[in-house]
């Protein structure tokens, strides 16, 4: 999901008119993972694939995998803790960011 190469801003002479952003989803260049103070850690063994964490993630930084397990995209996770809170089986734990 993430875009790894840094977003190179054009000079004003090459910018599109009308102030538009002509590419979709360029926010992927904007890694909000560095906002995080607490980090969700997933214990896959406990996961029951209910998808509640994926459903409620505001970024979304929870990635739904093909088998309906999930993984956390730390590039974007702001560490809000919703996922840990909604998880019915406590498979996600919030820990201090190192």
Residues near another protein, by CB under 8 A: 1, 7, 9, 11-13, 15-32, 35-36, 50-52, 54-61, 64, 68, 73, 75-76, 78-82, 84-86, 94
- For the CB of residue 93, give the shortest distance to another protein in the complex, in Å: 12
- For the CB of residue 91, give the shortest distance to another protein in the complex, in Å: 15
Find the helix or strand (DSSP H, E) in which 86 lies. Answer: helix 82-86
Comparing CB distances to another protein, the nearer of 27 and 43 is 27
Q: Among all chains, which residue has been given the structure tokens 């590039």?
A: 75
Whether residue 60 is preceded by a cis peptide bond, meaning omega within 30 degrees of 0, is yes
């Amino acid at each position: 999901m993430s875009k790894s190469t840094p977003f190179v801003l054009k000079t004003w002479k090459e910018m599109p008119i009308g102030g538009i952003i002509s590419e979709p989803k360029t926010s992927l260049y904007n890694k909000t993972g560095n906002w995080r103070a607490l980090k969700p850690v997933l214990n896959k063994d406990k996961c029951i694939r209910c998808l509640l964490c994926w459903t409620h993630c505001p970024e979304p930084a929870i990635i739904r995998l093909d088998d309906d397990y999930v993984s956390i995209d730390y590039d974007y996770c702001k560490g809000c803790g919703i996922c840990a809170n909604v998880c019915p089986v406590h498979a996600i734990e919030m820990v201090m960011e190192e």
